[in-house]
Amino acid sequence: MKWRMRMIAGLLLSCAVVPPAFSVESKRSIAVQDRLGGAVSALDVEQELDADLSVFLGDIAAPNEPPYLDLRYRLAVEGVRSDGLRWGGRLELGAVRHDGGRGVGGPASCADACGPQGLATGLYARPGFGGAEPRAGLHRAEVYARHPYAELRAGVTDTAATLERPAPPRSLRLSRADGPLADPFDLNLADTGLSLTAPALGVSVQTRRLAGFRAAASYTGDADPCGLDHCRPGAGLAPDVGAVWSAAVSFDRRRAASGVRWAAYAGAEAGVIDGPTHGVYAEPWVGGLALVREEGPVTLSARWLSSNDGLDPGRYDAAAISAAYEAGDWLYSLEAAQGEASAFGASSVAIFFGASRFVGRNGLAGAGVQIVRQDSRSAFTVEKAALVLEAGLRF
């Protein structure tokens, strides 16, 4: 990780003296003196630990073969001044081993087995790239101040589009049709949650929700091509992306009469290339839409994303629909996604069905079936299926 990330993490941890580890369920408050206004604040400290393991049974052919592992530790510290101003920080550390960290699957096929790398998708057609290596480090380290009408964040943080994008309920955390973290086939191209950067040093402002609406804007000086969730292999062979501007607006409101909750989202990101484009790359951009409807135990969602993938010419499009049903301790989900990368002459369709349930106080267990089909311009089609087993712990 970059030295700046470690510096921000140190600044965040210096905001408060944290007591020994405890469960997120045992939220603690500490009385502190607010030097800004001289008022005594209640400092709330929360910690959370997640661990997920995923195993596939089927025709697996990936550089990083299962099992896949994802570990996350989160720390949140918040103080409240007597005048209502909230301030604090958030820290997230992690260690991951999953092949889907490239962005959207493995190497796309092209007739002459050559070409650049997508700056948004991480797709490539060059031979010799392996899967994303197992990695560990800082995922997020931000400080914030929340006024009654807006929240300002600074540090290693998300873009505005990532902040506002709604996450649909899924039965399994690592396995899915849209935005695979664990893709054992190297075939799935669909990801409607792509960003031009992993969490990186930047600033953002987010309004409070008024009449269901909220807006956000952010700036990231230097994009990070390799984070815990997304990592482009061989990123040094592609130009760096800087000056990433992002803006988004969202709507989230539940109707009191019917109990139906509607959520909608629109967001975009644009960056500039640091260095020569070699006549192949273009200033990258990403834009997306989402719509979610929730009524009782049923949630339906539709998502779409488009990008030039930082290539000239280049076009990437992804779309996904999903349905989730919650019954007691069980959660069932069905998801279908389609992705197409014109620069690489490849497209894919993925379907995933899964079910999971709570086990005891902290455990989660689930299973699913994943089917992926990829078509390429070299006139061949590959279709594979696998059974997915996943287990998780939440503390």
Amino acid 352: pLDDT: 96
Cα 34 from chain centroid (whole Å): 34
Kindly state the helix (H) or strand (E) to which residue 293 belongs, with its residue range: strand 285-295
Residue 387 bridge partners (DSSP): 57, 369
Domain of 124, in residue numbers? 96-394
Residue 274, pLDDT above cutoff 50: yes
Least confidently predicted of 79-83, 103-107, 211-215, 296-300 = 103-107
Residue at 9 is within a domain: no
Residue at 218 is within a domain: yes
Residue at 258 is within a domain: yes
Q: Residue 192: name the closest of 136, 265, 284 by CA.
A: 265
Tally the domains of the chain: 1
Amino acid 36: pLDDT: 47
Q: What is the pLDDT of residues 338-378, one digit of tens each?
A: 999 988 888 999 999 999 999 999 999 999 999 999 888 76
Residue at 31 is within a domain: no
Which residues fall within 8 angstroms of residue 20, CB to CB, at 6 or more apart? none
Amino acid 344: pLDDT: 84
Residue at 367 is within a domain: yes
Q: What is the pLDDT of residues 256-272, one digit of tens each?
A: 888 999 999 999 999 99
Residue 111, pLDDT above cutoff 60: no
Residue at 366 is within a domain: yes
- Taking all residues of the chain, what is their mean pLDDT, rounded to a whole number? 83
CA distances from 217 to 7, 30, 142, 240, 328 (A): 24, 32, 16, 22, 38
Helices (H), the chain: 3-13, 160-164
Residue at 362 is within a domain: yes
Q: What is the pLDDT of residues 118-150, one digit of tens each?
A: 899 888 776 555 666 788 999 999 999 998 889
What CATH number does residue 251 fall under? Answer: 2.40.160.10
106 with 121: CB under 8 angstroms? no
The answer to whether the peptide bond before residue 63 is cis (omega within 30 degrees of 0) is: no
Amino acid 250: pLDDT: 98
Task: Name the most confidently modeled range: 15-19, 30-34, 263-267.
Answer: 263-267
Amino acid 155: pLDDT: 97
Q: What is the pLDDT of residues 42-72, one digit of tens each?
A: 789 999 999 999 998 877 655 557 789 999 9
Residues in the chain, how many? 395
CA distances from 274 to 24, 241, 244, 284 (A): 42, 6, 11, 11
Residue at 46 is within a domain: no
Angle 227-228-234 from CA coordinates, rounded to 5°:
50
* Backbone region of residue 189 per phi and psi (left: phi > 0; alpha: psi in -120 to 50; beta: other values): alpha
